[in-house]
Structure 1
């Protein structure tokens, strides 16, 4: 898969991944208990009932992905100090996007002193650094930017992750998602890769550890398994760790690489940290498909991205 050459310009693939990520994020947010209790969510997801409320706001997943995309657009690569500054500025402009506790500690400091990420990120969680899913949730547009170059996507994803996630598992989650999006983007205009082989390609570039181990389990989960059963095995993000989030989201993407809508219904069925799992899945699939085939009602209800995204 990595040697495919039929692909669009890289910035186009990255924008598509960003648009898909935002749609998944906003769609997934609809299934939290704040909006509907779990039994109602399960019923409506399995019946494929689209949430009627509008607008669907996106969360910190999209806010941080926008910062990654902006830095890539300006610099063409991950400039870590510029990314820290972008994260801090976005947080200061709108801190109510659902950021986790660690980011509420870190990002205000980065807004004032971006280079301080080198020490402050390592101070989180009693000096372990974050092993959460926050670096993975924003990584699909980065991977699509480096379409077809999985090795470079992995390297750049690690640079991106390190700004907020010092723990190796937090970095590994971002690497896995970026590689998946790079491979998906490279397959545009060609037949979809087989799901198991797709995941095995991602596995080859994912650093050793819990994320990789669970991703290896995902390679063996059949595509006809009910998504909620796959989530029971692989995790659904409920523990908000990269290892508990990324494998299921990428399994769902891998078995629905030609249908953004099917991929999102599949991922939503796992519930858990459903905005983040849906953001990862949709960002990966949209790196291949764009928004083609997405329900126009969903796109209408989703909160718009900033105008500059379409101008980049």
Structure 2
């Protein structure tokens, strides 16, 4: 199995530069003095999450005649919006499959980009997407199980290495594993002294178990769906798992309460709106035993239902 390389990520960076935000590293002065905290605010991307990077790289690599047939994607929300946004920029049709339990704010945002949204039952999105590919003739853009997606997400790691070459640790949310695979590949290549940690909810900690066992494990959808972090309910593929085995130094698991606390911390201290999935890396920073030196936390997304955000902030 061929793994994504730093050359793939550099190619992606040039390909998507005109379409994505080069997010800054923000110093968080309230962090641990021994482990200065920096935030990588991917919630500031145009669709509110890092997924634009992979979507634009994947669509940009398609032959124009293939791309013109349209695209199909399945997603719990942020990849859906990213593919819809990229498809609109390229002027091609997009059909997006989303689970019925997806937050309404993400469904509405996907439709606002002109995509046709198909809602499905939990655990059915891959099957429904395959049917749409057959019916529409569009090309499937998966949320993480593709080298182009991994390379696109890895451009965030390239930026970290350029902006903070002395970084000692990088904390990345894990769901399907595309973001951690890409960022980990870039950091391994450019900042070999740094440690890369995945972070996931205790209620969806299939990656932590899989890495401990040395092979993929199957957590039922209903079990993973218990977490408030709706963007972290997927499980790695064989491709992303191979990357994670190669690039991660460990996985930190966090509780639902710690995730809510991190959402509040980002709102009150950094003035950043983060969805629960986007805040787990900060929860991992608070929970984990990290090496001394600068730590970068990926704030991966900010697409949260206003009512849920209000509830979390009110409980602080």
**Structure 1 length normalisation: TM-score?**
0.32
Give the structure with the higher percent strand: 2
**Structure 2 length normalisation: TM-score?**
0.32
